[in-house]
Structure 1
Amino acid sequence: MRATWSKPVILHAIGEDGEDVVVENSLGASWALIEDWPEEDGEALDKALLVLGAVAQGKAKEEDGRKALIAAALEAGVKITA
């Protein structure tokens, strides 16, 4: 779960004090979704958490986690650079 993605995802203005959060792997994505996420509910959010759990168990690829994070960001209206 700590393999670095080919390209990080930058989540704009969701961190503490509104700073950007740079996510480089599925572990970081999990933390962002749990700690920093502006929404508590959402279909893409739920799916992302499941996919990231599967990545942690070796049942899904890191890239699947990256795609799921991007989908959750789009659903929540979080501005991203990916």
Structure 2
Amino acid sequence: MREGRRRKKRRTKRKREGGGGRGGQRGRGRAKEEKEGRRKKEEKVEEEEEEKKKKKKKKKKKKKKKKKKKKKKKKKNV
């Protein structure tokens, strides 16, 4: 069981270092450019959303009607 765990660690390390095949830092350029482009697009979208929020008109608050107090009837002395 311990041996299996060690093998897994070694494999991930090898993958990280770019051993075997075209791994590692090679051929990263275009992907990096695309990533930056995507980030710029996302920033633009976020800015537009913020502007829309600012442009939105605030809703007017409705005024509450005051309740009229009932007048008490005076008792007549008969």
Shared fold (TM-score, shorter chain, > 0.5): no
Q: TM-score range by the shorter chain?
A: under 0.3
Larger Cα-atom Rg:
2
- Greater relative contact order (Cα < 8 A, sep 6+): 1
Higher strand proportion (structure 1 or 2): 1
| TM-score, normalising length: structure 2 | 0.23
| TM-score, normalising length: structure 1 | 0.22
